[in-house]
Structure 1
Amino acid sequence: MAVHELAGTKVRKEDYIDLQAIAAAYANTHPDVSDPHQQVRFGTSGHRGQAGNGSFTADHVAAIAQAVCNFRKQFGAEGPLFVGEDTHYLSKLAYETVLGVLAANGVTAYVDSENDFVPTPSVSRAILRYNDCRSEKLADGLIITPSHNPPEHGGIKYNPITGGPAESDITKAIEAEANRLLAGHNAEVKSMSYEDAKNSQWVVPYDYKGLYVAELESIIDMDAIRGANLRIMVNALGGSGMNYWHKISEQYHIPIDFVNDTYDPQFTFMNYDHDGKVRMDCSSAYVMSAVTQSKDKYDLILANDPDYDRFGIVSGAQGMISANAYLTVASHYLMTHRNFAGRGIAKTVVTTDMLARSAAMLGIPCYEVPVGFKYFGSLYTEGKIAFSGEESAGGSFVAKDGSVWTTDKDGMIMCLLAAEIKAVTGKSPIDYYNDLCEKLGRPYTMRSDAPATLEEKDQISSLTESDVTEKTLCGSEIKAVLSKSPYGDFAIGGVKIATDDGWVAARPSGTEDLYKLYAESFVSQEQAAALLEEGKALISKALAK
């Protein structure tokens, strides 16, 4: 993957986003629903876009919120709706739109009691907490976030009564209804001003932060962390959970140094990512390069993206551990240090096969599903898994007693687990991973992103086994070509080609105008690069048919 000359350097003033221009575009741009680029489109996690190009405006958000109001009873929700938001500027604007629609529809919206931001995992936790032991008047949620996407982006996603990302039948219904409303110029959308909404009976304060932090003892060994006297820094990345980290430090008496823990919707403190874009990806070494300069001073540097569903971990002086490597460490530690007998783990098809190898060594099942955390939800609620992870630095796991913690990604518990692992085993995450590689082999992973139009993304999503006719890959016999997941037989939205010693997969991004190519080799970094190149040629050939 080519690295931009600005990668890892501080964002220049000329690249700061224009907040006034974004606000004007959000309020005054009316989408052309005959243009697919301006329609509501739910990817792997909600609708995302930009006000400047007419793909994320007040009209979009109002239509989506109204669609949820119209259908939530069919989805099983007749109780309150929990509302979360991250620190993107468009999230602030969309939050006001959402509350205006919910209140006008007589839907009780639970908002943060301290007027703070609310991370994705805190909303998931709130839904599950509220619905526990209830059989009627169940709650659901809306989370306003484009995840780690650049500062000018906006996003909104719906979490139904299960607490996790909505499954495809729900998102398709919301998408279709929202586009129908947009086509009618939102004439059927009920709304009131934000000022009227927040002062109405329908907007209710809720202690998201206090409840979430208090419950952490049920899932993390906070006593072990406190007793280990670890040197920890948190790079809050100006995100929605920055005050959660402060409360964690105060409530559990764990000393933490903080950086980037103030609200800055322009994200002026950021470093450019690998491609020269400003992207709040806490798992990127380029994004984290400003704080890794201090790595020798700390046992761990922990970070999360704006909605706090992803993790980034610097293993002290050893540097940053990759998401795939840490998922391997976390899953192995949990399955050997908790009483999770009878349960397995789960991963997506493009997450490292080290998880499968580790599971086989432990004699537990490993469920492989398509990309998207929504595919893990039922595995948790049915008691089949104790841990799940995806290569884009997302993971979650069950509480110590085996109860479900969240059905969405939780970057905070993944970071706290790194501290527990260091406290309990004395090993850094990288040392722990190296020990596992001695037993399981060392994988070499690579990923390449390429621009893709909506039409090209649809083409890649439609690839099947019959589109790949080659018999070998990098000189090794192709053992499997998958367009369906090994567990559940779900369409993976792309194709995965596997040999005995490696694999390559292609799928469109659900969050950006890209397609992603992944490769993993258990032979060498050179073979991983070759897998990537040959895989790219195979995909290009298949698309040309």
Structure 2
Amino acid sequence: MSFPVKDIPTKPFDGQKPGTSGLRKRVKVFQQEHYTENFIQAIFDSIEAKGATLVIGGDGRFFSPETVQTILKIGSANGVGKFIVGKDSILSTPAASNIIRKYKATGGILLTASHNPGGPDNDFGIKYNVSNGGPAPENVTNKIYEKTKTIQSYKVLEASPIDLGKIGKFTYGPAEVAIIDSVADYLTLLEDIFDFPLIKSFLDSHKSDFRVLFDGLHGVTGPYARAILVSTLGLPETSIQNCVPLPDFGGGHPDPNLTYAHTLVEAVERDNIAFGAASDGDGDRNMIYGKGAFVTPSDSVAIIAHWAEVIPYFKKGGVKGLARSMPTSKAIDLVAQKKGLEYFEVPTGWKFFGNLMDAGRLSICGEESFGTGSDHIREKDGLWAIVAWLNIIAAANAKSSNKLIGINDLLNEFYEIYGRSFFSRYDYEEVPSDGANALVAHLNDALKSGSLNDTVHTSASTSTKFTVSSLYDFEYKDPIDHSVSKNQGQVITFSDGSRVVFRLSGTGSQGATVRMYVERYVPAKAGPAELGKSASEGLKGLIEVALEISKLKEFLGRDEPTVIT
């Protein structure tokens, strides 16, 4: 049987270069005639589309349902054999990675701009994941980009739209379309990883003194959180908020940090909640926040690694290795050293972790940008990290007969063993690209000339002296595929072990985002008074010196960052 396929003439658009986070632009850019179609055709031109099985879903942001229909039309016309689509076009990024792996799909197309705002005037994104469930590597994204520069036409199947709200299997031209429950497979995955009976027993016995609140920020994880926390663990509906996915995320910014997840922070402080957590638009990031206790992402992944043996998945399979992105604090390195595990420092981008996982050399990893995960999938996983913390707290309390152990107790115990890496990130969002490039050039000039080496800088407010020991541009040689990634961030180190990192971020949709990361290590022997300081107290002098050396305020024209975490 033949099916009506039409060739639509088109012309290339400039700037359709995807990163590991896909192609991200404003919605109105994607809504231009032929724009989205061109990029989708370029994806199919870059993979073995004929007979392929593809997973489709996303964070439910504005313009998602229309784009799913476009993918179905173009994919079917290019010979795709089967589509697995999340109901209502929704699949969290971790859930999609799991489905790709579980059903041995060729890959997946995810419609997400992650933690960026949504709505008709905000952001949209299209991302291709490969058969291991992880983001497409550069050899694939480069191929897609090259196709976008020469495209002359795209193919479409002339067929009626599929009802994305109806679970079941449907024929769509030559292809099969399976609309699936977005949550079921992911819940099964987590139940195989964590000790749900232990967590439920702990929560049941501490209903009055250990309250839980999860904030979905109107992103994709709302239905997942309800299934896990309410339906499976038996918590009341009051344990979740903002858990209805909305195309514009309720007008908010679905980024789980102290600034944008203020609805969680305010509720936790107001209602004395012991355990608060939030996830982002597509579900791959998380924040852990209890009454008076913010857990940095750097500390979070290190503590999960420290307690890994209480999680059934790791108790059964062991921990093969640990890793972090370069800007992330070195706390997890200390865990690896103490436990005799191999550990890695990689560039920002989950594909680098994926290579190590596929080679059997990595189990637990994290990025300071609120991304934490393990080798159960090939994406970072916000709800995985949140349930990991609940599992750890339940296990810690099962061993304790004296008092209720909460977030602060775990943090303090960790610092007493390993010392503390004071850490903070300053985000300067949507700054002029010229200024951002000038900042990078200034640091590169200092790197080439050596003008900063051995210079001493004194903090005006604390009178602390910081001596520069090195300035370098981070470069990574992948131990698995031997690829080399250059220019991954400029690092200033100081003689006391402190360091400052500057990076241009590629996750925004316009302008530039500059991130400054500051880290200062204090050993365990410093004692509770020093270890217990706030991050702002522990880092104040270093931050002042970092701003002075970089001339950041001068180049960016900003006195304050957009977000501090």
Q: What TM-score, normalized to structure 1? A: 0.80
Q: Indicate conservation of the 8 Å contact 1:447/1:518, yes or no.
A: yes
Structure 1 residue corresponding to 2:504, chosen from 497, 502, 508: 508
Where 1:95 maps in the other structure, the secondary structure is: helix
Q: CA offsets, 1:302-356, max 9 Å, x none?
A: 22111100112222x2243222222222222216764455621010000111111
Structure 2 residue corresponding to 1:164, chosen from 134, 142, 151: 134
Could you say which residue in structure 1 is the equivalent of 2:275? 300
Could you say which residue in structure 2 is the equivalent of 1:177? 147
Structure 1 residue corresponding to 2:420, chosen from 418, 439, 442: 442
In structure 1, the gaps of 5 or more residues are 1-29, 132-137, 271-278, 399-404
Q: CA offsets, 1:72-128, max 9 Å, x none?
A: 129xx9530000111211333322322222122231453446436111001111111
Determine if the alignment matches structure 1 residue 532 to structure 2 residue 529.
no
**Letter aligned with residue 147 of structure 1:** S
**Letter aligned with residue 40 of structure 1:** Q
Where 2:281 maps in the other structure, the secondary structure is: coil
How far apart are 1:189 and its partner, in Å? 4.0
Q: What TM-score, normalized to structure 2? A: 0.77
Report the CA distance shift for 1:520/1:203 in structure 2 as closer, same or farther (over 3 A).
same
**Letter aligned with residue 301 of structure 1:** G
**Letter aligned with residue 353 of structure 2:** F
Determine if the alignment matches structure 1 residue 258 to structure 2 residue 232.
no
Structure 1 residue corresponding to 2:329, chosen from 348, 352, 373: 352
Report the CA distance shift for 1:33/1:58 in structure 2 as closer, same or farther (over 3 A).
closer
**Letter aligned with residue 493 of structure 1:** Q
The range that moved more, 357-366 or 165-174, is 357-366
Determine if the alignment matches structure 1 residue 148 to structure 2 residue 115.
yes
Could you say which residue in structure 2 is the equivalent of 1:471? 453
Q: Indicate conservation of the 8 Å contact 1:504/1:535, yes or no.
A: no
Report the CA distance shift for 1:467/1:207 in structure 2 as closer, same or farther (over 3 A).
farther
Q: Indicate conservation of the 8 Å contact 1:149/1:280, yes or no.
A: yes
Separation of aligned partners in 2, 1:442 and 1:456: 34
Separation of aligned partners in 1, 2:306 and 2:200: 23
Report the CA distance shift for 1:361/1:528 in structure 2 as closer, same or farther (over 3 A).
farther
Report the CA distance shift for 1:538/1:454 in structure 2 as closer, same or farther (over 3 A).
closer
Separation of aligned partners in 2, 1:207 and 1:372: 29
Determine if the alignment matches structure 1 residue 329 to structure 2 residue 303.
yes
Rg (Cα) greater in structure: 2
**Letter aligned with residue 310 of structure 1:** R
Q: Indicate conservation of the 8 Å contact 1:45/1:165, yes or no.
A: yes
Could you say which residue in structure 1 is the equivalent of 2:476? 485
Separation of aligned partners in 1, 2:548 and 2:30: 35
Separation of aligned partners in 1, 2:310 and 2:346: 23
Matches within 5 A, 1:138-287: 138-151=105-118, 152-181=122-151, 184=152, 187-192=153-158, 195=161, 200=172, 201-229=175-203, 231-249=211-229, 251-256=231-236, 257-268=239-250, 270=252, 279-282=253-256, 284-287=257-260
How far apart are 1:163 and its partner, in Å? 0.9
Determine if the alignment matches structure 1 residue 51 to structure 2 residue 40.
no
Separation of aligned partners in 1, 2:177 and 2:222: 24
% identical equivalent positions: 23
Separation of aligned partners in 2, 1:113 and 1:471: 54
**Letter aligned with residue 521 of structure 1:** R
Could you say which residue in structure 1 is the equivalent of 2:390? 419
Matches within 5 A, 1:23-42: 33-34=13-14, 39-42=15-18
How far apart are 1:57 and its partner, in Å? 4.4
Report the CA distance shift for 1:468/1:108 in structure 2 as closer, same or farther (over 3 A).
farther
Q: Indicate conservation of the 8 Å contact 2:518/2:539, yes or no.
A: no
State the aligned residue count. Answer: 479
Determine if the alignment matches structure 1 residue 310 to structure 2 residue 285.
yes
Separation of aligned partners in 1, 2:392 and 2:433: 42
How far apart are 1:157 and its partner, in Å? 0.6
Separation of aligned partners in 1, 2:424 and 2:37: 40
**Letter aligned with residue 117 of structure 1:** I
Could you say which residue in structure 2 is the equivalent of 1:401? none
Determine if the alignment matches structure 1 residue 494 to structure 2 residue 489.
yes
**Letter aligned with residue 195 of structure 1:** P
Q: Indicate conservation of the 8 Å contact 1:345/1:386, yes or no.
A: yes
**Letter aligned with residue 387 of structure 2:** L
Report the CA distance shift for 1:188/1:90 in structure 2 as closer, same or farther (over 3 A).
closer
Separation of aligned partners in 2, 1:194 and 1:528: 60
Separation of aligned partners in 2, 1:502 and 1:453: 29
The range that moved more, 503-512 or 477-486, is 477-486
